[in-house]
């Protein structure tokens, strides 16, 4: 982990940089979720999967962006979300949810 002079090795230095980057990303995620929660843009969702034998399974504990509330935000709030880089993330989450719904529908149409 250390060289002969007691300095961090290249491996240790690289690991420290990765850890610092992870911590920075975690903090940015925390800031994002705090802002989205403050604006009331989080809503819980359930996913219902249907199986060939007629059974269903509900997946709970998931959250997404409340698109209706997002649409009602004022222009100043939208501009601030854009400035913070959050608006594109919120839109990406909504697109992702559309894809998830498509996968669930496909599964439920072809339960085998």
- Per the CB < 8 A criterion, the answer to whether 24 and 14 are in contact is no
**Are residues 32 and 15 part of one domain?**
yes
Residue at token pair 């100043």 = 76
**Are residues 107 and 56 part of one domain?**
yes
Flag whether pLDDT at 69 surpasses 80.
yes
- CA separation for the pair 36, 2 (Å, rounded): 43
**Are residues 30 and 50 part of one domain?**
no
Flag whether pLDDT at 5 surpasses 80.
yes
Averaged pLDDT, 63-88: 96
Flag whether pLDDT at 42 surpasses 60.
yes
Distance between alpha carbon 90 and the CA centroid of its chain, in Å?
A: 9
- CA separation for the pair 98, 82 (Å, rounded): 22
**Are residues 65 and 94 part of one domain?**
yes
Query: Which structural domain, as residue segments, surrounds residue 106?
Result: 41-112
| pLDDT for residue 17 | 97
**Are residues 26 and 54 part of one domain?**
no
- Side-chain-side CA neighbours of residue 72 (13 Å): 8
Longest dimension (CA), the chain: 68
Residue at token pair 């994002």 = 32
**Are residues 31 and 85 part of one domain?**
no
Flag whether pLDDT at 112 surpasses 80.
no
| pLDDT for residue 101 | 87
**Are residues 20 and 62 part of one domain?**
no
Query: pLDDT band for position 107 (50/70/90)?
Result: confident
The kind and range of the H/E element at 45 are strand 42-50
**Are residues 80 and 25 part of one domain?**
no
| pLDDT for residue 111 | 55
23-37 residue pLDDT tens: 999 999 999 999 999
Averaged pLDDT, 33-53: 92
Collapsing DSSP states into helix, strand and coil, what is residue 93? helix
**Lowest-confidence pick of 24-38, 54-68, 75-89:** 54-68
**Are residues 112 and 91 part of one domain?**
yes
**Are residues 68 and 21 part of one domain?**
no
């Amino acid at each position: 982990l250390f060289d002969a002079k007691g300095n961090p090795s290249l491996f240790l230095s690289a690991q420290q940089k990765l850890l610092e980057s992870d911590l920075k990303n975690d903090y940015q995620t925390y800031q994002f979720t705090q802002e989205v929660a403050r604006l009331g843009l989080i809503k819980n969702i359930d996913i219902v999967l249907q199986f060939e034998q007629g059974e269903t399974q509900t997946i709970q504990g998931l959250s997404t962006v409340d698109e209706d509330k997002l649409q009602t935000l004022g222009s100043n709030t939208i501009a601030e979300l854009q400035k913070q880089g959050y608006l594109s993330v919120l839109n990406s989450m909504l697109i992702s949810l559309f894809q998830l719904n498509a996968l669930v529908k496909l599964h439920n149409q072809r339960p085998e």
